[in-house]
Amino acid sequence: AQSVAQPEDQVNVAEGNPLTVKCTYSVSGNPYLFWYVQYPNRGLQFLLKYITGDNLVKGSYGFEAEFNKSQTSFHLKKPSALVSDSALYFCAVSPVGGSARQLTFGSGTQLTVLP
Amino acid sequence: DGGITQSPKYLFRKEGQNVTLSCEQNLNHDAMYWYRQDPGQGLRLIYYSQIVNDFQKGDIAEGYSVSREKKESFPLTVTSAQKNPTAFYLCASLGGANQPQHFGDGTRLSIL
């Protein structure tokens, strides 16, 4: 069975500082990895994905994530945080070739960027 | 614009009542999904469908039912057997194996 851990329920960072939201995963075989963002009372918006290739993935709104196979991690990063980045962030994993591409989600990390 | 439309945005259920949540997509995606979101628990899969007239149970299907009579539509019924239905329900669709799931804006269901 696959699983995702987001060890921090809440991350606070000052505007302009770099941010990191952590994610580790467990899956049989190679993973598909995704990051989504959710604003209050809205659906999830796709930020970026890792399928194969370069371990550093660049996505929307200046976000990037680094795939580390040995540490089974896929941490989300941004060099300079904006107040508008404040939202709930979800990491998700699916095994390559998995049935119907079922995603398993982490429990989410609430990011607050302080002005 | 292509996307997923969920309706209604807010829904209230009386004791013993079945309610149906609508999900429509115009993305021409084959696969569709229903998730339940509770605070601090992330998203849990209720049902999914890979093709018209076929669907499978997810991790928490008890007390829910679905149908997939058209490619564009995947309604979810929350039955009276679901004793704790208060949650935020999200519908998603998927166009291809390497693609991300696309999400609607959700329906918030509460008990009267």
pLDDT in tens, B69-81: 999 999 999 999 8
Q: Tokens 């309604």 sit at which residue?
A: B75
Share of chain B above pLDDT 70, in %: 98
Q: Tens digits of per-residue pLDDT, B24-51?
A: 999 999 999 999 999 888 899 999 999 9
Using pLDDT thresholds of 50, 70 and 90, give the confidence band for residue B98: confident
- pLDDT at residue B56, rounded to an integer: 94
Q: Tell me, what's the pLDDT at A19? A: 97
Q: According to the model, what pLDDT value does residue A39 have?
A: 95
C-alpha distances in Å from residue B40, one per residue of A11, A19, A57, A83, A107? 14, 21, 27, 22, 6
Q: Do B31 and A42 count as a contact with CB atoms less than 8 A apart?
A: no
- Whether A101 contacts A94, CB under 8 Å: yes
Average pLDDT, chain B: 93
Q: Is the pLDDT of residue B1 over 70?
A: no
User: How far is Cα B11 from Cα B105, in angstroms, rounded to an integer?
Assistant: 14
Sign of CA dihedral B92, A83, A54, A3: negative
Taking the alpha carbons at both ends of chain A, their separation in whole angstroms is: 41
Determine the distance in angstroms separating the CA of B97 from the nearest CA of chain A, rounded to an integer.
Answer: 7
Distance to chain A for B16, nearest Cα, Å: 26
CB spacing of A44 vs B90 below 8 angstroms: yes
What is the per-residue pLDDT for B41? 82
B111 contact partners, CB below 8 Å, separation of at least 6: B12, B13, B14, B15, B85, B86
Judge whether B98 and A35 are in contact, CB under 8 Å: no
Residues of A with CB under 8 A from a CB of B: 4, 9, 32, 34, 36, 41-46, 49, 51, 90, 100-103, 105-108
Question: Across the interface, do A41 and B106 touch by the CB < 8 Å criterion?
Answer: yes
- What's the CA gap between A14 and B56, in Å, rounded? 44
Q: Which residue has the tokens 């149970």?
A: B57
Measured in angstroms, the CA of A46 and the nearest CA of chain B are apart by: 7
Residue A49 corresponds to which amino acid? Answer: K
In terms of pLDDT, which residue wins out, A30 or B61?
B61
Which residues of chain A are modeled with pLDDT < 70? 98-101
